[in-house]
C-alpha cells in the first residue's frame, strides 16, 4: 500500500469514528499505553480475554474500603450499599443483560464453579440418556468439567461425552448439523452444553434454534456464555434455556477473575425436587439468620448460592453492569457489527492470514479469528512494533476483538495496517 493509500484509509477510519451513531464511551475506560509503535495508547483487541478497567471502579472500591474501615461488621447493614444483600443490586441489570427475569439470575462464584453447580442439578444420567454434548473446540475448562461430571456419575467420559465437530475442511459447526444430530440421537442426550460464542473461532451459535431442538429431544440445555455475555444480545428466558453461566471479566470489564453470573429458568427455581448442592447463602434471607439446620431455598436462582458474596469483588461487576444498562446491548451489538465489518474488509492485505470466523455478521460476535503461521510470534510483533494488543491461541490462531465500548475504527485501521506490514500481501 502506498503512503497516499495508507493516509486515505486512515482518514476514512477517522471519518467513520466521527460519524458513528454510537460514539463509544472510551474516555470511561483506562486504555493501556502502547508497548511499541508510534501511538501513545494501545489499540486494544484483547477484551475477549480481559476487558479494560472502567475509571469508575476505583471510586466504588474506595467506598467499600472506607465503609469497612469506618463500620467494620456493621457494614453488613449500614454500609452505603449494605453488604448483606449486596448481590441483589446486580440482579436487575444482569437480568436485562441476558434477557432474563430478575429471579432467574444471580452473581456468584466463577464460571466453571457455576457450571459444576448447574450440572450437579441438571445432569441426571439415566438409562440410555447419559450423554453430554459439547463442541469439539470447547474451551478446555468445559471439556474438563463435563468429563469429571461423567466420572462423578460412574461413567466413562470417552463414551458419555460427545464432541460435535465441523464438517471436513470447515472451521465452524453448522446449525443444521447440530439439529440433525439431536433429531437422530437426542434420545441418548442428557445434557447439551455448548458455548454461545466459540472462544476460538468467534462463531455465534443459533442459541434459540439449538435450545428448541435440544429440549424437543428431551435433553436439558445449558449454555456457556463466557464469550457471549456483554458481546451479543441474549434472550435466555424467551429461548427457554434451562441454565447458563458466564464470566464477567471479558466483554463485561469487571476485572481479572471477577465474580461470574448464572441463569436458571423460572420453571426450575420454584421446584424443590431437583437436587442441588447447598450452602448457607442459598437459604431464604427471611429465615437465614435463624441458623436452622434445614435449608429453606427461595424460589429464585439465589437458591444455588453457597456462600456470602465477596463485596470487594462484586463492586466492579456492579460498576460495569451500570455501563451496559445505560447504553443497551442492542445498540452495542449494532456498533460491534460495524466495527467487525470494517476490520474484516481491511484484512485482505495480510497474505496468509485466513479468516476462520463466519463472514456473516449475524453468525459471529465481536471477535475475528485469523489462522496464521506462528501466531504467538505475530501477536508479539503486533504489540512491539505497532502497539496493537491481540492474543494468540497456539499454534495458529490470532484473535482480534474490537470491543464496541472502547475500540474505534481507527484502532481497526491500526490493526489492519500492522497485519499488512508484518504479513504483507501481494504488491
Beta pairing partners, 368: 400
Query: Is 271 marked as binding a ligand?
Result: no
Say which CATH class 61-325 falls into: alpha beta
Q: What is the pTM of this model?
A: 0.95
Residues whose CB falls within 8 Å of the CB of residue 404, separated by 6 or more in sequence, listed in order: 22, 24, 332, 333, 335, 336, 339, 366
What is the architecture of the domain spanning 3-30+328-422? Alpha-Beta Complex (3.90)
Cis peptide before 395 (omega within 30 of 0): yes
Query: Is 139 marked as binding a ligand?
Result: yes
Query: Is 142 marked as binding a ligand?
Result: yes
Query: Is 227 marked as binding a ligand?
Result: yes
Considering the chain, tell me which residue range(s) the CATH 3.90.1150.10 domain(s) occupy: 3-30+328-422
Could you identify the residue written with the cell 462463531? 203
d(CA 311, CA 86): 7
Considering the chain, tell me which residue range(s) the CATH 3.40.640.10 domain(s) occupy: 61-325
Single out the residue of 297, 301, 273, 328 nearest to residue 101, CA to CA: 301
Query: Is 421 marked as binding a ligand?
Result: no
Say how far residue 21 (Cα) sits from the centre of its chain. 25
Bigger pLDDT: 289 vs 324: 324
d(CA 82, CA 89): 10
**pLDDT tens-digit readout, 319-337:** 999 999 999 999 999 999 9
pLDDT confidence bin for 418, thresholds 50/70/90: very high
What pLDDT shows up at residue 274?
87
Q: Are 190 and 219 in contact (CB under 8 A)?
A: yes
d(CA 232, CA 234): 6
What pLDDT shows up at residue 4?
47
Query: Is 224 marked as binding a ligand?
Result: yes
**pLDDT tens-digit readout, 109-144:** 999 999 999 999 999 999 999 999 999 999 999 999
* Mode of pairing for the β-strands spanning 189-195 and 220-224: parallel
Residues whose CB falls within 8 Å of the CB of residue 286, separated by 6 or more in sequence, listed in order: none
**pLDDT tens-digit readout, 336-372:** 999 999 999 998 766 678 999 999 999 999 999 999 9
User: Any alpha helices (H) in 163-306, and if so which ranges?
Assistant: 175-185, 207-216, 236-239, 266-269
Q: Which helix (H) or strand (E) holds 87?
A: none
d(CA 192, CA 211): 9
Whole-angstrom CA distances from 65 to 311, 346, 362 are: 10, 46, 43
Q: φ and ψ at 165, to 5 degrees?
A: -115, 150
Query: Is 11 marked as binding a ligand?
Result: no
Please provide the average confidence, as pLDDT, over all residues in the chain.
95
Could you identify the residue written with the cell 500492522? 418
d(CA 233, CA 262): 16
Amino acid at each position: 500500500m502506498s503512503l497516499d493509500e495508507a493516509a486515505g484509509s486512515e482518514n476514512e477510519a477517522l471519518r467513520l469514528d466521527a460519524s458513528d451513531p454510537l460514539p463509544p464511551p472510551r474516555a470511561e475506560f483506562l486504555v493501556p499505553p502502547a508497548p511499541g509503535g508510534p501511538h501513545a495508547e494501545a489499540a486494544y483487541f484483547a477484551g475477549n480475554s480481559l476487558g479494560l478497567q472502567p475509571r469508575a471502579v476505583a471510586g466504588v472500591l474506595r467506598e467499600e474500603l472506607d465503609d469497612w474501615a469506618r463500620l467494620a461488621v456493621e457494614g453488613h447493614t449500614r454500609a452505603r450499599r449494605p453488604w448483606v444483600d449486596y448481590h441483589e443490586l446486580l440482579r436487575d441489570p444482569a437480568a436485562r443483560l441476558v434477557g432474563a427475569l430478575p429471579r432467574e439470575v444471580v452473581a456468584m462464584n466463577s464460571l466453571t464453579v457455576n457450571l459444576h453447580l448447574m450440572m450437579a442439578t441438571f445432569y441426571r444420567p439415566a438409562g440410555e440418556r447419559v450423554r453430554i454434548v459439547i463442541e469439539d473446540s470447547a474451551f478446555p475448562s468445559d471439556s474438563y468439567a463435563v468429563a469429571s461430571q461423567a466420572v462423578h456419575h460412574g461413567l466413562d467420559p470417552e463414551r458419555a461425552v460427545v464432541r460435535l465437530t465441523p464438517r471436513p475442511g470447515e472451521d465452524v459447526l453448522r446449525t443444521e448439523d447440530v439439529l440433525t444430530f439431536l433429531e437422530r440421537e437426542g434420545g441418548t442426550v442428557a445434557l447439551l452444553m455448548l458455548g454461545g460464542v466459540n472462544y476460538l473461532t468467534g462463531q455465534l451459535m443459533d442459541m434459540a434454534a439449538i435450545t428448541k431442538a435440544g429440549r424437543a429431544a428431551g435433553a436439558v440445555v445449558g449454555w456457556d456464555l463466557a464469550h457471549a455475555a456483554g458481546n451479543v444480545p441474549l434472550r435466555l428466558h424467551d429461548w427457554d434455556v434451562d441454565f447458563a453461566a458466564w464470566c464477567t471479566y471479558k466483554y463485561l470489564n469487571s476485572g481479572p477473575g471477577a465474580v461470574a453470573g448464572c441463569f436458571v429458568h423460572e420453571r426450575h427455581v420454584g421446584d424443590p425436587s431437583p437436587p442441588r448442592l447447598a450452602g448457607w447463602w442459598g437459604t431464604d434471607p427471611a429465615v437465614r439468620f435463624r441458623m436452622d439446620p434445614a435449608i429453606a431455598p427461595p424460589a429464585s436462582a439465589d437458591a444455588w448460592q453457597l456462600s456470602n458474596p465477596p463485596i470487594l469483588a462484586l463492586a466492579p461487576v456492579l460498576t460495569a453492569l451500570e455501563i451496559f444498562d445505560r447504553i443497551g446491548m442492542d445498540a452495542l451489538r449494532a456498533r460491534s457489527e460495524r466495527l467487525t465489518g470494517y476490520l474484516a474488509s481491511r484484512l485482505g492485505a495480510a497474505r496468509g492470514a485466513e479468516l476462520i470466523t463466519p463472514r456473516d455478521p449475524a453468525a459471529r460476535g465481536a471477535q475475528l479469528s485469523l489462522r496464521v503461521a506462528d501466531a504467538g510470534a505475530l501477536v508479539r510483533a503486533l504489540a512491539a512494533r505497532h502497539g496493537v494488543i491481540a492474543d494468540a491461541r497456539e499454534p495458529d490462531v490470532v484473535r482480534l476483538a474490537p470491543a464496541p465500548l472502547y475500540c474505534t475504527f481507527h484502532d481497526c485501521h491500526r490493526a489492519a495496517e500492522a497485519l499488512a506490514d508484518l504479513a504483507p500481501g501481494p504488491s
